Structure formats: structure tokens, C-alpha cells
Structure 1
Amino acid sequence: MTLHSVHSTLLFATICFLVLKEVNSMPPSGKFTPKCRVGEGIYNPDNAKLVPWITVDLDAPPEERFKKVVVPFIEEMKDVVATVKQAINGISFGILVPLVEKVMKYAHKELFPEVYRREIEGISAVSGISVADLAMMNIFYELSRFCTSIVAQTTDGDLWHGRNLDFGQPFIWDVEKRTWKLTSVLKKVTVNINYMKNGKLLFKGTTFAGHVGVITGMRPNGFTLSMNARLKPDILNVFAWLDRNYTNKDLHFVMWAEREVFEHCRSYAEAQAYLSNTLQLAGDYYILGGKRPGEGVILVRNETSLESMVKLDPQGGFGRWYLLQTNYDPGTRPLFIDDRITPGNYCMRQMGPDRLAAAGLYEVLTSKTNLNKSTVHTVIMHIASGTYETYIQDCPDPCWFI
């Protein structure tokens, strides 16, 4: 960790603090004004081929399952670990990393459910990355996820689901490349996985190499699912878990819960019931889509229960034909520097249900500020056609930083 890196991190934090302190309500404007790109013809499905597809056999021993996923990404995974440690060092002056490593080694051995513990041990064996570092990454992904998810239906009741994964802020701003360093390295470990069971495709999912959970996914002929972070302090729950206030049986990291719902639930109704009731480490928003008109819902979760939900209108048309969720409770105002809801809603109305398809949904999600400097990738899902496409994103300047 260089002195320059430490100074850069502290300087950026100071600037953010001063801006938030002095400005009462100033959303992105001027050259950063949101811009809707619907109708620009920017959708190119060939670009989805840049994200690889790899098969995971859930019938294989846990230690063997993710080896094929990991091998092509070993150096990139090491870059992710190094970047996170660099950020931790930057805010703690080198004090915390040894402690974090010790705690993560303990957590992996004593607290992780057996199947995930064994999967991580297998990843460690093939990658050379310690189980402590891999445990850190699996927990770290629970703490910082800023996303946009959309489930929508056409005038004919055809359902589409899309999401942007925003991840990496505020972990080291790369001054030369003008982006978040963690966002950049996460783009390089994004992978699509076909999860197989009994020789058949069980579900499709998108995750990061080295992570054993699922970020976004689709169960064929069943349901689609994405998850957005809820802006409440998760870190205290992590401490409680490390202090054994959660048992192995009770604990669900939300990305593990998302994987489990795909493994155990066959239908939209089953998935909704499971996600509404599972005990988990942190609150979040589950955005769930189905295959029939009206099968779309935002589930607002806390650690123990469902707080509220918002549903699609089964009649569609120009009523509630879409749901757009970022990282704020439905109906509440977002932080003024992080308003992706207003431009997202404007763009969805520009498209309309009659033009809803892969191209239109991609154009909405590639419109600023839903697209920003922390956007890692976009996923488009459609049960009826089997479409599942992941696109690595880039937000050229001028582009809002979150």
C-alpha cells in the first residue's frame, strides 16, 4: 500500500463528506444529467458472448464443483482479494488486514455451513488463494451491492427481467482510468453458470468466480430472481454472527439464500414463499419474476421477516406494468446523489409496454444514471424464450460516480 494510495483514499472520503455536508439537494446535473437511450439501437446480443458459460454439477462432491469455474480466473481472483485488502489497509493504516484474515479463517472453519465450507476448500486448493481470503470475499459481497432491478410485462402479459449490478464504490478510485478499482476487477471475474442436477439443467446464474452464492438467476419454466441491497447497517449482523448469535442452521447470507431458492423451489409461488420467510443475515430487496401475467413482485425483507411487497398489475397495459427497484424502500425518496429511480422510471415510460423486449430493457439499463461508474454488468432474462444474457458494462465520461 503506497502513501499515495492512502492519501487518495482519504482525500476522496473527505471530498464526499464535504459535498454531502454542504449540499442539501443537488442530483446529477450539467454534463452528468441523466440521459435515456431507448430507441438508439445500442443492443447487440453478440456482446453477451464475452461473459463465459461454465457448468457446475451439483451432484459432484462439493470440493470438485467449482474447479472449472475457478481455473480461468485465478489471477483475476487474486486481484480482487488484493484490491479489497488495499482498501481495508487504506482506512486502517495496515492494522485490520491481519485481524480480518484470522477472523475469516475462524469463520470458515466454525461458522460456514458444511457444503459452502467444502466448496470454498475446493476453490482454495485449485486457486492457491487461502480459505480465509475466500471466506472474506464471500462475506464481503454481502456488504456492498448497489443495483437496479426491473421486472416488466408487455401488453400481452409477456414477462421480462433485467438488472444492473453496481458494486465497488467506494473502494479506491482509480484516477488514471477514472473508475472504481474494485468495479474494474469484478468485471474480469463475472461468470455465467449452468447449474446441473441429475444430468439436467436446474437453473442458470451469474456470480463472481470464487463466490459460491448466486447474484442473479433464472430457473427454466419457473422464475427469475435478482437481489438488491437494502441500505441498513449489515456489519453489526456480521459481528453478531461471528459472536455465534446466529447458528449454522439459522444463517443465510442473502446470496446463499438466492442459490438455495433455485435449488429447492420449482415455481414462482414456492420461491415467493421461501424468500418471504427465510432467516437471513441482512435485509434486502428480492425482485422476483415468473412466467404468467402479473407474476412480478418486490419483496422488502429485514433479517427475520417480510416487511412489505409491491406487485405487478396482472392486467398490464399502462397500469403497473413494471416494477423498478434500486436500494431504497418503494415509495421513499432516494439519496439525492443516488437517484436512479427517477431516470429509470422516465426511461421505462419512454419505452412503454408495447416496445418491451430484450433491446428496450437493455437500453433502459444502459441509460445514465442507472448506468454509472460502479456498474459491473447487466443481465437480461426471459423465461418464455430461455433468454439469459450478461453484458459487461462501461460508463464513458461524463459519467456519475455512483
Structure 2
Amino acid sequence: MSIIFIFLFISIVHSDIPLDVPSFSIDLDHAPIDRWSDIIPNFAQPMNEFNIAIRAQIPQVFIDAAEIIVTRLEEHIPQPYYDELYSIARSISMPLADIVLINLVYELRTYCTSLLVRTSNNTIIHGRNLDFDLNTDLLRRLTFHVKFFRTSNPTFNYESIHFAGSIGLLTSSRSGYFSLSINQRSTDDKDWWMNALMSILHLHSLPLFIITRSIFDNSIMSYQDMKYILQNRHLIAPVYFIITDGRSSGMIITRNRLNSINPIELNSTLVQTNYDHWLDDPSNDPRRTAAENILQSFNSTQMTQDNIFDIVLSVIPVLNKLTVYTAIMNPGEKQDIFAKIRTLKPRQ
């Protein structure tokens, strides 16, 4: 009863009108230089606005380093992803350095709530709210759904909830195989921007947008293969990987740049925000605690997509003014990603 009361109270004092997410498709059999040319021009204005905004908000030294990376891009970004970045830049006449910068900002600023829930029919629901603390309204205008496929292989496809300009995957599902969401891991590293760039320049670590695409673009990749890569591949920044095969297994992988620590496997429910799961939520950010308390009040038959969306991912503070979108994946049911752009605001 208390959960219902809270939900009704929040509905009275706040307004959120979930919006549909526009959808596109990409044939991976097409040349990489052409894959994004029909999609990105639809987002030219908000992409330019976002680029101007982030250049004004992030340290200049980070921008300078991104421009250095571009001068040696072929050393750091393998094909076909080099050509995809160039394709995006060409399609809206934006400098390639700015596209690289946008990709790095997208993957280094994801303040999110991700959850895994085992249902009564033995599938696993994978839900997430993606929160972004830079220019949230612009990010809503840059959000779309994309289905990747190969004409040459009718059985191969996967989906992503995407930000225009990015080639990587923050929220993605391959039906019948696995799903993935990525949350930023909060640390005390005050120089994390520069450390991330130095990892690319001097340690030859791959950005997440390359690692995630190389996993999902591989038609023979298994859940166990993905799990091994995400636990062991050197990264440019600490993150959390939330993964499931949709049927029997799911887990949270907590990553440093070089290794994983304290992985936790799914029993009935798991919730991850931006803090290590073995620590308490900070007092000013109780998103994980709020979601866990609601899930603990459910019985197994209440673990449904509708309830996860309506009662867990739509309740403050799990839903908040920085939430760009909500996505629910269920790779075990072989369902498309259900996603809505969120617009939470106080009622006038």
C-alpha cells in the first residue's frame, strides 16, 4: 500500500509524458562509410547544439587530447569503426574530432539505473533508466532505436537504444542471446577525463564504443564469450556492465580499467546505479535503495514488464529530471526492446 501511495503522490506533483522513440535500421553488409548516412542528417541540428554545449562544459585539455587522437585515429580505432565515425562526420559536415569527442562523452557520462529481474516464466527482464547530467533535453532529441542486421544472414540482428553521433552501444539486446547495459562507475579520480584519454593514447586501450560493437557485430559471440571479454579487456574508464542471457544467467561486472572486482550473479533481482554494490547508497542519491525496496515487495508473478516500467522505473528518484529514456529488454522472450523517452518535470 505504501508503494502505491508513493506512486500516486509522485504522479500528482510531477508530470512525465513518455514519448515514442524514433526507429531506424542499419544493414551491416553495407560499406561502413555509408551505414549512417541516411540516419544522422535527421539529427543534425541537435547534434550541432550538443557539440557546442559540451565544448563549453568540459575541460579544454580533454578537447585538445581528442584532436590529437584524430590525427592518429587509424592507430586507435580499428576498421570498420574508423569509417563509421568518418561517415557520421561527413553526413553533417562536422569535424571528425568532434564526432570522436561526442562518442567519448556519451560513454563517460552515463548516470543510470540498471536492473535484472527473474520472472515467474523463467526469463530475465533487463531494465534501465539512462540518466545524463549534460544537456538532458538535447539528449532526448538525439535518442533513437536502431536495429542492426545483415542481408546475407537473415538470422542475425540486434537492437540498441542509441544517441545520434555514437557508434557504440550503451543499451543493447540480441534476441535469444544476451543483453547489455553500461553504467558509469563513480570514483574519486578527479583526473578521470584525462586518464581516459591517456589510456587510449599511450596504453592502446579501446573505447567502449569499439568493444561493445565488436561483441554485438560478431554473429558467433556467446554469452560466456561476452562475459569473458567484459571482465578482462582493458578499458579507458571504470564502469559497470549489466548483462544477461535472458534465461538462466545474469550478473553485474564491476570494472577498473584493468580488471573486474567483486562480480555478483543474479539470484532473483539485482539493481545497479553508479556506486559499488557492496557499499551503501550515498544519502543524496538513493536510487538503488528505492528500486530494491520496490522489487522486494513484489512476488514472482508481479515481475512483469508493465510493473517494472510503471512501478519501478517510473518512481522518483529512480526516474528523475536527468532521465533521458527508459528501456526494457527481454532477450529470453525474443522481444524487441521496449523504450520511451522520459520528460519528468514538476507540475506547474
Pairwise TM-score range, normalised by the shorter structure = 0.7 to 0.9
TM-superposed deviation, 1:380: 0.7
The structure that has the greater radius of gyration is 1
Give the alignment partner of residue 61 of structure 1, picking from 24, 31, 37.
31
RMSD: 2.4
TM-superposed deviation, 1:64: 0.9
Task: Confirm whether residue 110 of structure 1 aligns to residue 72 of structure 2.
Answer: yes
Task: Confirm whether residue 292 of structure 1 aligns to residue 256 of structure 2.
Answer: no
CA distance in 1, matches of 2:229, 2:298: 33
Worse-superposed segment, 355-364 or 252-261: 252-261
Give the alignment partner of residue 390 of structure 1, picking from 326, 339, 346.
339
Query: Secondary structure, in 3 states, of the residue corresponding to 1:205?
Result: strand
Query: Secondary structure, in 3 states, of the residue corresponding to 2:157?
Result: strand
TM-score normalised to the size of structure 2? Answer: 0.87
Instruction: Evaluate the alpha carbon distance shift between residue 120 and residue 397 of structure 1 in structure 2; reply closer, same or farther with a 3 A threshold.
Output: same
Match of 2:14?
A: none
CA distance in 2, matches of 1:37, 1:133: 43
CA distance in 1, matches of 2:197, 2:209: 18
Q: Is the 8 A contact 1:380 1:390 kept in 2?
A: yes
Equivalent residue runs for 1:1-400 within 5 Å: 35-36=6-7, 50-88=20-58, 96=60, 101-111=63-73, 112-115=76-79, 116-167=81-132, 169=133, 171=134, 182-197=135-150, 198-200=152-154, 201-232=156-187, 233=189, 234-241=192-199, 244-247=201-204, 251-264=205-218, 266-293=221-248, 295-313=249-267, 321-363=268-310, 364-383=312-331, 384-397=333-346
Query: Secondary structure, in 3 states, of the residue corresponding to 2:346?
Result: coil
Q: Is the 8 A contact 2:18 2:343 kept in 1?
A: no
CA distance in 1, matches of 2:27, 2:222: 21
CA distance in 2, matches of 1:279, 1:261: 15
Question: How many pairs align?
Answer: 327
Query: Secondary structure, in 3 states, of the residue corresponding to 1:141?
Result: helix
CA distance in 2, matches of 1:58, 1:387: 19
Q: 1:275-325: per-residue Cα shift (whole Å, max 9, x none)?
A: 1111111111111111323x1111111111121211112xxxxxxx11110
Query: Secondary structure, in 3 states, of the residue corresponding to 2:39?
Result: helix
The AA in structure 2 aligned to 1:279 is: H
Q: 1:119-160: per-residue Cα shift (whole Å, max 9, x none)?
A: 111111111111121111111123211100011111332211
CA distance in 2, matches of 1:367, 1:224: 24
The AA in structure 2 aligned to 1:196 is: F
TM-score normalised to the size of structure 1? Answer: 0.76
CA distance in 1, matches of 2:193, 2:65: 14
CA distance in 2, matches of 1:67, 1:353: 45
Percentage identity across aligned positions? 25
Query: Secondary structure, in 3 states, of the residue corresponding to 1:333?
Result: coil
Q: Runs of 5+ in structure 1 lacking a partner? A: 1-33, 41-45, 172-181, 314-320
Instruction: Evaluate the alpha carbon distance shift between residue 101 and residue 288 of structure 1 in structure 2; reply closer, same or farther with a 3 A threshold.
Output: closer
The AA in structure 1 aligned to 2:116 is: V
TM-superposed deviation, 1:236: 3.8
Runs of 4+ aligned structure 1 residues displaced above 4 Å come to: 99-102
CA distance in 1, matches of 2:240, 2:62: 28
Q: Is the 8 A contact 2:273 2:288 kept in 1?
A: yes
CA distance in 1, matches of 2:127, 2:326: 7
Q: 1:200-234: per-residue Cα shift (whole Å, max 9, x none)?
A: 34211111111111111011110111011111233
CA distance in 2, matches of 1:387, 1:133: 32
TM-superposed deviation, 1:81: 0.7
Q: Is the 8 A contact 2:115 2:128 kept in 1?
A: yes
Query: Secondary structure, in 3 states, of the residue corresponding to 1:327?
Result: coil
Q: Is the 8 A contact 1:109 1:117 kept in 2?
A: no
